[in-house]
Amino acid sequence: MVKAVFDNFAPDAQKDHFTIGINDDVNHTSLSWDANFSVEPESVVRAMFYGLGADGTVGANKNSIKIIGENTKNYAQGYFVYDSKKSGAMTVSHLRFGPKPIRSTYLISKANFVACHQWIFLERYDMLSSLVEGGVFLLNSPFGANEVWEKLPREVQKHLIEKRAKFYVIDAYQVARNTGMGSRMNTILQTCFFAISKVLPPEEAIEQIRQSIRYTYGRKGEEVVQKNLKAVDETLAHLHQVKVPAEVTSKIEIPAPFSAEAPKFEREVLGAIYAGHGDDIPVSAFPVDGTFPTGTAKWEKRNLALDIPVWDTKTCIQCGKCAMVCPHAVIRIKVYDSRELTGAPAAFKSADARDKEWQSKKYSIQVAPEDCTGCGICVDICPAKNKSETRLKALNMEPQPPLRYQENENWKFFLKLPELDRRDIKLTTIRQQQVQEPLFEFSGACSGCGETPYIKLVSQLFGDRAIVANATGCSSIYGGNLPTTPWSKNLDGRGPAWSNSLFEDNAEFGLGFRVSVDKQTEFARELVHRLAPTLGADFTNLLTTSSQKNEAEIYQQRERVASLKQQLVKIQSPEARQLLAVADLLVKKSIWIVGGDGWAYDIGYGGLDHVLASGLNVNLLVLDTEVYSNTGGQASKSTPRAAVAKFAAGGKPAAKKDLGLMAMSYGNVYVASVAMGAKDEHTLKAFLEAEAYDGPSIIIAYSHCIAHGINMTTAMSDQKVAVDSGQWLLYRYNPERALAGENPLTLDSRTPTKKVKDFLQQQTRFQMLTKSKPEDAKRLWQLAQHDADLRYKMYEYLAQRKPEPVPAREPQPVAEGRPDVKQEGLQTTTK
Ligand SMILES: Cc1ncc(C[n+]2csc(CCOP(=O)(O)OP(=O)(O)O)c2C)c(N)n1
Ligand code: SF4
Ligand code: SF4
């Protein structure tokens, strides 16, 4: 839990300036705010605002503090409480204003103003328990003043009646839509606060908001300013007081945080944390060894989407692209026998499977309506147009609320349909591969995140035998932030094992997994050999030498290991007991070392380089957002020239570091540079090759991010411009090809057909400079074009070079203390 504190923000009488104290990283469990503290002077306005991460609530409240602190005699204070999930989690702003210095160094527990900026919170949090008698409740509601009462949960009605609350509603989303603000409703609700609370005379407050809009959004252009001003003007006409009836009439109950179907630990511990009651859980309730169950994000129904995709079975060409790009693994595909449709809900959709190899099977695409974030990426990427109505595709966004319950039933039915046998799925085409079950689902990444589709792909392809080392960054936050994790398991209980060590040592951490797995595999093989007289020569041979290079062979090895374990329990010997403990290590494991560019290019680079040089069989995945995304967008060595980022406010003066080229210089490292939105089949091929390569592999994956200042809905298809302009290259460097006498480098990008500026002008991170420093922007944009031209020519040259004959592969350098690997070299490491 992180709190930023703006304490006692008020004019300093003597010096005529303002002081702000910012106190980050305050662990709120160390503070107490029990009832004794909550006796505060009546003259203090105590307001709590419940918002959604990145919906602008916190920003608007900081702005309100400034307005009050600068323009009234009041002192102002703010605490901002948010968990460390990515945007989309709840934020609570605690604001105090009063005529005297505010000494309350704790959160508000008795508020006289509570604002709920998201309707969905009503069924998740008991927000009104902190409202004092006669207090105000402001609700952003899709229902008007006349109909809202019946839509409230019983508990909320009860609070409003018992506390004799003044209740106001506004459909802020509607005002935002009408005024061209999209879904940004922060200034609208801020206006409501000033209008109701009267901390300032309303006209004066509104003038102050107007001024701060001009100041804050001026850089973004007059159009943005005008939209915000219009939103403020329209607000008061849509703000209505609701007459609170005398009786509770609602039949709607606030549901338990996690469904009753969830296991006990998930319900009682993780569910309680999710509901905000983590401080009440005794330490004894937590796992002693720090391991937590996986597959828990599925209980956390965030219900964020205003609109969700709806499938048109007739228009769909069954390409699988929607499932591939979905950042949250929310849209899924299954192929199954028609008899499975018995008992399907009436609204459940299916079509005949089109793929020749799936003749006579049924095909369904289904969305989890309460897990979808409404990002719209799947619809944007869908290539199938409805011929009779060209504005429509095979997927179209439609309002979620009327579909929620029906699609929930459909989702539950869909989950029960059997998965296709992994051995029967052709992995080289997306249309088939995307049928694989994702074992990374419903992550709390920002809506539309560009990193998560790559991780999901790893989980589909190798998840049932993967071990993941995760560097700190967005991927560790949405990957394993309490209380839940999106890393999950299949029906057989197999799924990735995941851990996060540090930002700076992740590559070494993952290398340790490899070394440890190899050692245990070696020990298991040794024990099998010792037991050969009992197990039989053929079985011993198969168990210890199977190459396990595809799903069918892995399946066979799992069968062998299962049979081995059955035999071992009957053998009374120390070897048998020891082998039982390590027998699972006879099945190939896939080691993934995952992190962002801040880790890979900068802070973890030394370790990453060491791991690449080790020759050991690991797969490094660099989620390249070209900034430190998790901490708010600081420049890394990956940041391209001309981009504005923190620590590069005047535009990054230097070119992006070529990490791929550096890795290639070893000669024995598999290197790929991919951009899923530009060429998805290429991404798939690179992931398969990297994992199959018996040595170190590194994939550098272009990942769009909210930090780029882009339209996230079209971000995947916009990746094409990055590649078409030469700003991002697609290539694969496969040392196996060198061994076969071919050039190891394949340049998969075609000669650029667009200019770099076509890419740069799509993104605020580049455009900002054209407004603030046009001359610098011009120079840096020219240099960026030059960078791209040079890079393309160099890679073209390298890829066209006649290959030099390569001598037979030498044993690779290995870490000391690894005699097993030293003897046998690269070939012997297991995956
Ligand atoms: C040694 C160290 N320095 C700084 C941090 C704070 N920190 C956590 S995540 C992060 C940014 C990660 O950026 P990146 O690796 O690019 O991953 P992204 O968030 O973009 O996915 C930073 C600076 C840390 N955890 N450890
Ligand atoms: S709208 Fe976004 S989250 Fe929802 S299914 Fe489509 S891609 Fe996934
Ligand atoms: S990479 Fe960007 S979009 Fe994805 S979770 Fe991080 S900040 Fe959000």
- SS3 readout for 456-518: HHHHHHHHHHEEEEECCCHHHHHHHCCCCCCECCCCCCCCCEEEECCCCCHHHHHHHHHHHHH
Q: What is the atom index within ligand 1 of the atom nearest the CA of 471?
A: 15
Any ligand 2 atom below 6 A from CB of 368? no
d(CA 645, ligand 1 centre) in Å: 15
| CA 705/CA 699 separation, integer angstroms | 18
Residue 250 parent element (H or E) = none
Strands 627-628 and 634-635: antiparallel
**Spacing, Cα 373 to ligand 2 middle (Å):** 6
Q: Which numbered atom of ligand 2 lies nearest the CA of 367?
A: 5
User: Could you identify the residue written with the tokens 């780029």?
Assistant: 708
Environment class of 133 (CB within 10 Å of its CB; exposed 0-12, middle 13-18, buried 19+): exposed
CA gap 574, 706 in Å, rounded: 56
CA atoms within 13 A on the CB side of 155: 13
Give phi and psi for 396, each to the nearest 5.
-140, 140
Which ligand is nearest the CA of 604, by number? 1
Residue of 310, 303, 312, 307 whose CA lies nearest to 400: 307
Q: Is 195 in contact with 205 (CB distance < 8 Å)? A: yes
Q: Which DSSP string do the residues of 780-824 spell out, in sequence order?
A: HHHHHHHHHHHHHHHHHHHHHSPPPP-PPPPPPP--TT-HHHHHH
| Distance separating alpha carbons of residues 746 and 480, to the nearest angstrom | 36
Tokens standing for residue 202: 């309303």
**Amino acid of residue 341:** L
DSSP 252: P
Are the beta carbons of 625 and 710 closer than 8 angstroms? Answer: no
Rounded-to-integer distance, Cα 384 and Cα 378, Å: 12
pLDDT along the chain (831 residues), means of 10: 38 27 28 42 92 87 92 92 75 94 93 95 90 97 95 96 97 93 88 91 88 83 88 94 97 91 96 89 94 94 92 98 98 98 98 96 98 97 95 97 96 98 96 98 94 98 98 95 93 96 96 98 98 97 96 97 97 95 98 98 98 98 97 96 96 97 97 98 98 98 96 96 98 96 97 98 94 95 98 97 73 46 31 31
pLDDT of residue 808: 65
Asked if residue 496 lies in contact with residue 597, where contact means CB atoms within 8 angstroms, the answer is no
Pairwise CA distance, residues 32 & 45, whole Å: 20
Cα-to-centroid distance, 374 and ligand 2 (Å): 5
Amino acid letter at 301?
Answer: K
SS3 readout for 268-322: HHHHHHHCCCHHHCCHHHCCCCCCCCCCCHHHCCCCCCCEEEEECCCCCCCCCHH
| CB of 730 sitting under 6 A from ligand 2 | no
Residue 377, SS3 per DSSP: helix
Outline where DSSP puts E strands in 55-203. 75-82, 90-98, 111-116, 131-140, 166-170
Q: What is residue 603's predicted lDDT score, i.e. its pLDDT? A: 98
The answer to whether the beta carbons of residues 377 and 716 sit under 8 Å apart is yes
State the pLDDT at residue 828: 29
| Residue 598 near residue 476, CB atoms below 8 Å | no
Extended strands (E) in 400-472: 466-470
- Find out whether the beta carbon of 328 lies less than 6 Å from any atom of ligand 2: yes
Q: Which ligand is nearest to the CA of 332?
A: 2
For the chain, give me the number of helices (H) and strands (E)? 30, 25
CA atoms within 13 A on the CB side of 645: 26
Nearest CA to ligand 1 atom 25: 503
From the alpha carbon of 475, which atom of ligand 1 is closest? 21
What lies within 8 Å, CB to CB, of 45 at 6+ separation is 95, 96, 97, 98, 112, 113, 197, 199
Closest ligand to the CA of 710: 3
Query: Are 433 and 655 a contacting pair, CB within 8 Å?
Result: no
CA distances from 726 to 406, 472, 652, 676, 763 (A): 45, 30, 18, 15, 16
Residue nearest atom 12 of ligand 1, based on CA coordinates: 473
Nearest atom of ligand 1 to the alpha carbon of 603: 1
List the residue whose alpha carbon is closest to atom 6 of ligand 3.
474
**Residue 449: nearest ligand to its CA?**
3
Q: What is the spatial distance between Cα 146 and Cα 143, in angstroms, rounded to a whole number?
A: 8
The answer to whether residues 69 and 11 touch, using CB atoms and an 8 Å cutoff, is yes
- Residue length, the chain? 831
Question: Which candidate, 115, 499, 479, places its Cα nearest to that of 291?
Answer: 499
Residues with a CB atom less than 6 Å from ligand 3 = 86, 445-446, 449, 451, 474, 478, 625, 629-630, 705-707
Residue of minimum CA distance from atom 4 in ligand 2: 372
Using DSSP, state whether 333 is helix, strand or coil: strand
pTM of the model: 0.88
**C-alpha 336: how far from its chain's center?**
30
- The Cα–Cα gap between 197 and 209 comes to 15
Cross-strand partners of 367: 331
Specify the ligand 3 atom closest to the Cα of 703.
1
For 243, half-sphere exposure in the C-beta direction (CA atoms, 13 angstrom radius) is 3
Supply the residue whose CA is at minimum distance from atom 3 of ligand 2: 372
- Which ligand is closest to the CA of 327, given by its number? 2
Question: How confident is the model at residue 751, as a pLDDT?
Answer: 97
Distances (CA, A) of 433 to 420, 427, 457, 550: 11, 5, 9, 14
Q: Which atom of ligand 2 is nearest to the CA of 331?
A: 5
Whether cis (ω within 30° of 0) applies to the bond prior to 811 is no
Q: Is 557 in the pocket of ligand 1 (CB under 6 A)?
A: no
- Give 250-280 pLDDT, tens digit per residue: 999 988 889 999 999 999 999 999 888 888 9
Q: Which helix (H) or strand (E) holds 226?
A: helix 222-238
- What is the CA(446)–ligand 3 centre distance, in A? 5
Which amino acid is present at 802? Answer: K
Residue-by-residue DSSP string for 168-196: EEE-HHHHHHHTT-TT--HHHHHHHHHHH
